[in-house]
Amino acid sequence: MIRLFKVKEKQSKEAENANGRGFKKQSAGQLRVHKDISELNLPKSCSISFPNGKDDLMTFEISMKPDEGYYQGGKFLFTFNVSAIYPHEAPKVKCKTKVYHPNIDLEGNVCLNILREDWKPVLNINTIVYGLSHLFTEPNHEDPLNQDAATVLRDNPKTFEANVKIAMSGGRVGGTHFTRCT
């Protein structure tokens, strides 16, 4: 049996030398991300890009342009960092666009249950994208990261809508300046 492994190892090394380069073994997480991305069914308001090139599928960006709701007309960029033990651990997702939102804080942390306690290995990148998209059509004031935005949304939706428009146009809400994202 040991001899068989040595023969296979020798064949592998010979193939590497013949090609002039070795092959890189992919982790289970890389294989799963490749599958998830190849099966990705993005809404028409979303696009994906790979800032480190197509060879690095573990880091990518999703751009969202909501076509309805409070955030209609804005453009929001999310970074995804996927660990080698994916899908047993949810990807780390950050919003790179500063946004006035009850479920996204000013540092870009995202409050989405499937990225935390409700993550299960059967979920995938597509599920996360649709969850993020849902946050823009239905912001949730009951599980906030930005308490001020959540309070305004709960108590005065018209003021919340006005604050979102001000923030998206590059204005100031409270003491915070937002960069234009429309």
DSSP-based three-state secondary structure for 136 = helix
Query: CA nearest 90: which of 81, 101, 78?
Result: 81
Catalytic residue among 46, 95, 111, 181: 111
Cα angle at 144 between 140 and 148, to 5 degrees?
105
In the annotation, is 46 catalytic? no
Query: CA nearest 58: which of 97, 23, 39, 85?
Result: 85
Query: CA nearest 87: which of 61, 58, 113, 64?
Result: 58
Pairing mode of beta strands 46-49, 59-64: antiparallel
Residues 151, 45 contacting (CB under 8 angstroms):
no
CA separation (Å) from 83 to 64, 91, 93, 107, 154? 23, 7, 11, 21, 36
Residue that is written with structure tokens 């890189």 in the block: 24
Active site (catalytic) residues: 111
